[in-house]
Structure 1
Amino acid sequence: MRKDIRVAGFGGQGILMEGIIIAKAASLYDHIYAVQTQSYGPEARGGASRTEVVISDEKIDYPKIEHPEIFVVMSHEAMLKYITDIKEGAILIVDPDMVQEEDIQDIIEEKHLKYYKSRATQTADQKIGKKIVANIIMLGSFVKATDAITVDAAKQAILDSVPKGTEELNLKAFEEGMNILEKVN
């Protein structure tokens, strides 16, 4: 069982933290192998950034992802930049308030993607009251849409990763993410 996961957005959204939490949940709490890498340009804040996580029940001897089978995207620029090599039949989770969906309809149909929406940014702003937790909301949606990591492992990794004093806020954001996920096809 190898799962190739890509999470992308713009610098400042907590994309890299989301990847670190996924890898930590897998390796420390689900007791499977995980490798996390990250990529962002000199424009880190505002420019496209991505993190990739490989999860496997066997040792990972090649950490590069060639065709992600799970792609979580939180910005239009990142979607355009990083969707081209997505695997046929992959899971695509999009924040529709941050991505122009008409630009991805062709690839969704062409590659037979399992398409989900998660209004992470809107939920963070309007329901939680803190835009900074949109990445944790998206993490909740990721966990619900995939079987990559368990809910308990994700929660423990969140508690280990977020700043002290924000644990309750982040767990609430995670739960919201699981609740707002919408399967499109």
Structure 2
Amino acid sequence: MNSDPVQVRLSGAGGQGLITAGVILAEAALLDGKNVVQTQTYGPEARLGSSKAEVIISATTIAYPQVTVPDILLCLSLEAAKKYMSLVHHDTLVVLDSTIGPEVTGRGRIVRLPMTATAVATGGKMAANTVALGALNRLTGLVSPESLRRAVLARVPERFRALNAAAIEAGERLASPAEAPA
């Protein structure tokens, strides 16, 4: 991404690990020496309610700590896509899980990837957030791959490190910069 700062919104249902994904992305950017702001919101339900993590990454000082219009929008649930698709601009990279049907359209450069299915094939649906981070980073180059791996492996419990390392790689294989629409 050439924009600075880059505004990222990660959205889905509670329990999909998007708050953790936002923290990991922010930590990876810090490891790269960038300035970062990370915020999060979620519904009153701990599981299945809506959740959103926002991360602003910049090489310079961040003047406003809230995402206004995302440069990147990730949606892992239909509800999140319906809620946030209208809040993007025509240049926003919108990455949707392939479980979100074709009825969801809108502005932005839309990429659909089977992130949840890839997580299941990798070893567990709970790793969909990590697959998504690997794919998103491969598409955008937001942070260095090494910093992303370090941040993921530092954040997850030891018993899940092998699964999450495999999930990052699966996400990276799932996406390539050429898949991001021009």
TM over 0.5: yes
Verify the 8 A CA contact 2:90 2:109 in the aligned structure 1.
no
Which stretches of structure 1, 4 residues or more, deviate above 2 A after TM superposition?
181-185
TM-score under structure 2 length normalisation? 0.92
User: Displacement, 1:184?
Assistant: 6.7
Structure 2: state its 5+ residue gaps.
none
Aligned length: 176
User: Displacement, 1:114?
Assistant: 2.3
Residue 102 (1) aligns with residue 97 (2): no
Q: Which residue of 1 aligns with 2:84?
A: 82
Residue 9 (1) aligns with residue 12 (2): yes
User: Displacement, 1:48?
Assistant: 1.4
Residue 174 (1) aligns with residue 168 (2): yes
Q: Aligned partner of 1:62: which letter?
A: Y
Distance 1:124 1:103 in 2: 22
Distance 1:30 1:87 in 2: 27
Distance 1:124 1:147 in 2: 21
User: Displacement, 1:159?
Assistant: 1.1
Q: Give CA-to-partner distance per residue, 1:14-59, whole Å, 9 cap, x none.
A: 01011000000001x1110011000111023101111000000112
Q: Aligned partner of 1:124: which letter?
A: A
Q: Which residue of 1 aligns with 2:153?
A: 159
Residue 21 (1) aligns with residue 8 (2): no
1:50 to 37, 49, 52: 52
Distance 2:63 2:5 in 1: 11
Verify the 8 A CA contact 1:118 1:177 in the aligned structure 2.
no
Q: Give CA-to-partner distance per residue, 1:84-138, whole Å, 9 cap, x none.
A: 21122111111011x122221xx1xxx3x2222221111111x212111011001
Verify the 8 A CA contact 1:19 1:52 in the aligned structure 2.
yes
Structure 1: state its 5+ residue gaps.
none
Matches within 5 A, 1:90-129: 90-97=92-99, 99-104=100-105, 107=106, 111=107, 113-125=108-120, 127-129=121-123
Distance 1:116 1:30 in 2: 26
Calculate the aligned-residue CA RMSD, in Å.
Answer: 1.3
2:12 aligned counterpart, secondary structure? strand
Verify the 8 A CA contact 2:19 2:52 in the aligned structure 1.
yes
Distance 2:173 2:110 in 1: 16
TM-score under structure 1 length normalisation? 0.90
Same amino acid, percent of matched pairs: 34
Distance 2:123 2:64 in 1: 40
Q: Which residue of 2 aligns with 1:137?
A: 131
Verify the 8 A CA contact 1:117 1:181 in the aligned structure 2.
no
